[in-house]
Chains A and B, each alone.
Chain A
């Protein structure tokens, strides 16, 4: 079940200032902005990797301060640049991490891994026993996606997941990601406008630790803000 996420007057000194943001269950929101604008910190507040100095973060209406963080993290997918795969574990073992933490039966784990890896075009029978090191960057990131999504999380947090990939692989993964993303609330950090528009239906623009624009994706490029126009201009060649 997708969860709602809410930020109430959240500040993280000295990075974020008075963030207010409500994300409905099942919504896909891209957090965009330049490096250091505060989007990654905002993302990390949702699974408790960062803590607010002031204000509250709520998931499904419950403040994180009165939530079991370990349990929350097990139902929150997290995809990062460079994938963060366990180098000493096989592809299957990596993908099986959360199901095993949740004590699924081996049969269920195997079946779920099989299903998600097939959707990502990396059949388990071919890739399951390999180690991350032997995979390309794009393949590693597919495994990262599978690992984050296998247990049907209620929230999916993505931090520049495709940032280190070449443009063609990047596009392929964006498409694979779009095909998988139903039934989950998504926060997707990127500084690439075309990517944000492809993966999200709502765009939130950060600058200097504040939200300066929050619009449906299709209305973003018509916003009159100078920073919006700079993003559009910077993206126009690469789209």
Chain B
């Protein structure tokens, strides 16, 4: 039993880590792009916003018939989680960059920073607390949503929960739910710490 829980927990962490990792790689550049172009940015944000409103179980279901990324199993679960994780990361990157004091930007331009230098040396560092907050939200939400991924054979702690529900076995449900809650709390605490560190600087 213990070994099963541990294995499911490790699998769960892996699913969320891959999904959030990919969402960071896609989401931060997308957020930067949204911050640069007001009109297109708003449209892109509405799109990721709309994805967020799809009930997670339905989103998993929608993905099953999609070729290449869909089907039954962990890959589909990860794709769905990436889609969910995008919104907080894109939005917080956008907010973070838009929130940089315009006088600071102007001073940077006036000193002859190129637009790339402005981004890497001024805008991104100053937006970082907000971006990390987005990653934190994506991670915590992702840990919860990932339990539902078991419905389409995604693996992870949800497997135990679903099995517990169908067998009406509270202990089995808890064996899935408690580690998931613990993971979410730990992730939240660690990333909050990172965020505070960045803000203090």
Residues of A within 8 A of B (CB): 47, 49, 70-74, 76, 78, 80, 82-88, 97-98, 101, 131, 147, 157
Residues of B within 8 A of A (CB): 101, 103-104, 106-114, 117, 122, 125-126, 201
Q: Are A101 and B104 in contact (CB under 8 A)?
A: no
Give 15 new A-B contacts, CB below 8 A, not counting A84-B101, A86-B107, A88-B201.
A49-B109, A78-B111, A80-B106, A80-B110, A82-B103, A83-B103, A86-B122, A87-B104, A88-B125, A97-B111, A98-B112, A101-B113, A101-B117, A147-B111, A157-B110
Nearest residue (CB) in A for B109 is A49
- Closest chain A CB from B169 CB (angstroms): 52
Docked Cα-Cα span, A76 to B125, in Å, equals 25
Q: Are B111 and A98 in contact (CB under 8 A)?
A: yes
Where chain B touches its partner, the secondary structure class is: helix
Q: Are A49 and B106 in contact (CB under 8 A)?
A: yes
Where chain A touches its partner, the secondary structure class is: mixed
Q: Are B112 and A84 in contact (CB under 8 A)?
A: no
Q: Knowing A82-B103, A84-B104 touch, does A49 contact B122 (C-beta < 8 A)?
A: no
Nearest residue (CB) in B for A148 is B111
- Chain A residues, CB < 8 A from B103: 80, 82-84
Q: Which of B104, B110, B114, B117 contacts A49 (CB 8 A)?
A: B110
Q: Are B126 and A87 in contact (CB under 8 A)?
A: yes
Q: Which 5 A-B pairs have CB atoms at the shortest separation, nearest pair first?
A: A84-B107, A74-B112, A73-B112, A78-B110, A84-B103
Q: Are A76 and B122 in contact (CB under 8 A)?
A: no
- Closest chain A CB from B200 CB (angstroms): 10
Q: Are B106 and A101 in contact (CB under 8 A)?
A: no
Nearest residue (CB) in A for B128 is A88
- Chain B residues, CB < 8 A from A71: 112
